[in-house]
A and B are shown apart, each in its own frame.
Chain A
């Protein structure tokens, strides 16, 4: 080995070593952040916060089936007791009476600070008379049975006011004293984990804990057919991570073994095989290193994309071994390397366009592939020849090349039919241009349809909040946020009254701002004054003032407790509700006010326009989570179109500069564009709804396919294509198709879409480039 050679190999070895160290210390994630915007706007930030840390993202729904209603209720109580004792769970609810008592006691004790009806007018003679008369009417009605015990303490009905503003939403059904599904056949529980929604490990541990405790409880109860169904964002996150993990392993193995089989057939030598895989391994390593260094973590889906990279990167060593066999390294570098280099550069243009995406997953895929392809090409050019030495004779594939040439010659007759077909495909695509795209971000989600359906069923059964609609207000500090929530609440009250929304939650409902607390407290008259007013107000009423001593006592003690803090909520489920609705950020506090759709609507949706109109002029922000998500996806899609066009323009510009001939440029581009049109029309005709990654796949067909078209272009300049070159193209094309095609087997939609597009696209690009190659110009 020469000094230069030794130096190149040494640099390569050191770089690989450093790469291994970096990869070893890299963080691999497989969560929603793949999809969350890298540069979110204000409304998208709310969405991101909710997905990562929101209370809804930490909610798990449990359904117990098996046994009879009494056994299920017993199991539900036991499971609640077991889980509530564990620190991993912030709250475990199953509708048991005892768990509601502490909330009720809290509301009764603090009703004069909490009730929105408390005002100075309510405690005037007229106000008292009206409020008490209303309570008496309520007691007279059949529904009043439950209110009777509290009447002497709370004759103005503040608790009724409080409860009226809560629980506007549906309550779960109940059997044997615990929550049940609507048909009564399953007992239901609602669990909130301490682990954040973004902490997939924590969610996985919590789910395992629940399953273990349930198995133990079922064994103790001796119910043989007891079963537990779980759903919620945590379950989705854990399941889709598992899908991605198993897919990454499965796809990499399939792709690697298939490609090794092809290479063994071609090289007939384990030594050449190992050498041929070196650029690939270097490329894959470099891809992960680049992503890890640039983004601080690597998405599982990115690694899954590796199986495509293997197929693409192995091409360079195939070209080297098959093409240089007869002519030697120096001649290969002179004759073939410029063409390969141009191919690498077009691939880099394609992948490079993705790096600019605001969709983090896509940007990572771009950087990963770009660095991988570039590294594999450089290692093939500068390191592989030194390591391989002179003993590089692969199987003589000239016969294969000659046979292929005969087939191609026969296929050239099919050029016109292909053009007709492509025209039809283009017309088809134009006709379906509006309905062939998937318009929802669910197109990218790895959550299975079965899981989604099960989740919707459980959610309906337990009436769990989905928090689709939210109003967000902010303040410099906690009090500022609470006051802003109260101001927004006044505007929302009008929407409730007009029926636009069914109701809303607010942290200020259980934790009013100190200003409001002071105002309410100041409304309460002192004992003697109240007694005097009651005498006047209740003259002639069936409920004499003399019987309201407990009321006067309660108001007197309420006047002494004029401040309610977050700490006072401890031990109630209201504390959780308040915490879930308040967020502390670097720049202050935010309060969330989830809105409920009107009751009785079979497809509950809230009209956006009246809500925005009602909030106009305030700093309150209305967010429709589903709308925001769909908007996000459409933004991604729009951006991906621009990036694809930019990538395509870059490739065209590069080829134009390199080929310096409009005729040659057209010759290279025509088969690629035909391949894109035929593949996309084919997918659409097969019923695939196209999504963002199909679009990216179109760009990659051009970026990857150009490698093959360039070889044919080179042949038109230098005369007929050599049989060995043609054979090397066939093998390289096969490995690329295997690499991308393997992705089509993936259950992860992001990978599947790229696979079904680029796999067939690469094959078509080669075939079309071969039959559309212009005849060599007569010399």
Chain B
């Protein structure tokens, strides 16, 4: 029963995508990059805080699935996601977590890697994909398919142009949100 409902939902979501601009096409374009480097600005809007928290830094990702996020302000921190192993370095302390043990956290962090590298299979493992717009200006919506992931994040909205991701917005379950704006650095 629930399963067939899911299939129906999937079909409904997929239909408009088929009409205009295909998820497959988008993923193909995204995957076309062998990797890249980008500047990012992340703005977190939390109910507890009077003003948004802004952090900036650089991101590097490769087609092999390695993602490095180097925060420069307000406090230096390096986060590396390699395969299923997440390591965080901060204040000269290094913490390594095997995310295979925590599938929900992995799904959450993996959304950004899946989008940047156009890994459709990885994204569809945990999310229902909904694409709107055209190849020049598109918006991909990720809705968690598992309740455990939905407890962390309500919706992820990715927007971009051509094969480039411009922004990723996370709407958390408690209404807090964060917006990640990405500016590619052209490699020489």
Contacts and interface: CB of A to CB of B under 8 A. Distances in A.
A137 B74 contact: yes
A142 B109 contact: yes
A74 interface: no
A142 B44 contact: no
A184 interface: yes
Nearest to B176: A148
16 contacts: A137-B75, A139-B44, A140-B53, A141-B55, A141-B75, A141-B90, A142-B109, A143-B90, A173-B98, A173-B101, A542-B49, A542-B52, A542-B53, A543-B48, A543-B50, A547-B48
Interface in A163-196: 164, 173-175, 180, 184
B46 interface: yes
A157 to B, nearest CB: 12
Contacts of B169: none
A225 B170 CA distance: 44
A660 to B, nearest CB: 78
B18 to A, nearest CB: 34
B48 A140 contact: no
B51 interface: yes
Contact of B152 (A145, A175, A544): A145
A140 B77 CA distance: 11
Given A143-B88, A174-B101, A544 B50 contact: yes
A140 B100 contact: no
Interface in B46-83: 46, 48-53, 55, 69, 71, 74-75, 77, 79
B59 to A, nearest CB: 11
Contacts of B52: 542
A152 interface: yes
B50 A142 contact: no
A136 interface: yes
Contacts of B50: 542-544
Interface string B95-114: 10010111000001100000
A151 B174 CA distance: 14
A189 to B, nearest CB: 16
Interface string A77-114: 00000000000000000000000000000000000000
A151 B100 CA distance: 27
A184 B49 contact: no
Given A148-B46, A151-B48, A544-B50, A142 B69 contact: yes
A303 B152 CA distance: 66
Contact of B79 (A143, A164, A542): A143
Q: How large is the interface on A (under 10, 10 to 19, 20 to 34, 35 or more residues)?
A: 20 to 34
A141 B77 contact: yes
A175 B100 contact: yes
B24 to A, nearest CB: 29
Given A145-B152, A174-B101, A184-B100, A140 B74 contact: yes
Nearest to B90: A141
Contacts of B101: 173-175, 180
Interface in A533-553: 542-544, 547
Interface in B86-132: 88, 90, 93, 95, 98, 100-102, 108-109
A155 to B, nearest CB: 10
B55 to A, nearest CB: 5
Interface of A: 136-137, 139-143, 145, 148, 151-152, 164, 173-175, 180, 184, 542-544, 547
Contacts of A173: 98, 100-101
Interface of B: 42, 44, 46, 48-53, 55, 69, 71, 74-75, 77, 79, 88, 90, 93, 95, 98, 100-102, 108-109, 152, 176
Nearest to B153: A145
A440 B53 CA distance: 59
A140 B57 CA distance: 13
Give 8 closest A-B pairs by Cβ, nearest first. A174-B101, A542-B49, A140-B53, A137-B75, A542-B51, A140-B55, A143-B88, A141-B77
Contacts of A544: 50
Given A136-B49, A143-B90, A544-B50, 10 more contacts: A139-B44, A140-B55, A141-B71, A141-B77, A141-B79, A143-B77, A173-B100, A173-B101, A175-B100, A542-B51
Contacts of A142: 69, 79, 88, 109
A136 B46 CA distance: 11
Nearest to B170: A145
Contacts of B102: 174
A727 to B, nearest CB: 75
Nearest to B108: A145
A498 to B, nearest CB: 12
A434 B88 CA distance: 49
Contacts of A141: 55, 71, 75, 77, 79, 88, 90
Contacts of B93: 164
B176 to A, nearest CB: 7
Nearest to A538: B50
A140 B46 CA distance: 10
Contact of A152 (B48, B53, B152): B48
A660 B140 CA distance: 107
Residue of A143, A164, A184 with most partner-chain B CB within 10 A: A143
A137 B48 CA distance: 14
Contacts of B109: 142
Contacts of B90: 141, 143
Contacts of B176: 148
Contacts of A151: 48
Contacts of A137: 74-75
B141 to A, nearest CB: 21
Nearest to B102: A174
A544 B50 CA distance: 7
Contacts of A174: 101-102
Nearest to A164: B93
B53 A139 contact: yes
B15 to A, nearest CB: 34
Contacts of B108: 145
Given A184-B100, A543-B49, A140 B79 contact: no
A577 B133 CA distance: 58
Given A145-B152, A542-B51, A140 B69 contact: no
Contacts of A136: 49, 53
Nearest to B79: A142
A542 B42 CA distance: 16
Nearest to A95: B101
Contact of A140 (B44, B95, B98): B44
A542 B176 CA distance: 15
A143 B88 CA distance: 8
Contacts of B77: 141, 143
Nearest to B77: A141
Contacts of B74: 137, 140
A142 B89 CA distance: 12
A153 to B, nearest CB: 11
A140 B98 CA distance: 22
Nearest to A546: B50
Contacts of B46: 139, 148
A138 to B, nearest CB: 8
Contacts of A547: 48
A186 to B, nearest CB: 14
A574 B79 CA distance: 31
A164 B92 CA distance: 13
A747 B88 CA distance: 50
A174 B84 CA distance: 13
A184 B52 CA distance: 41
A308 to B, nearest CB: 54
Contacts of A143: 77, 79, 88, 90, 95
A512 to B, nearest CB: 23
A485 B69 CA distance: 41
Contacts of B152: 145
A543 B95 CA distance: 27
A151 B49 CA distance: 11
A139 B53 CA distance: 9
A137 B53 CA distance: 9
Nearest to A176: B103
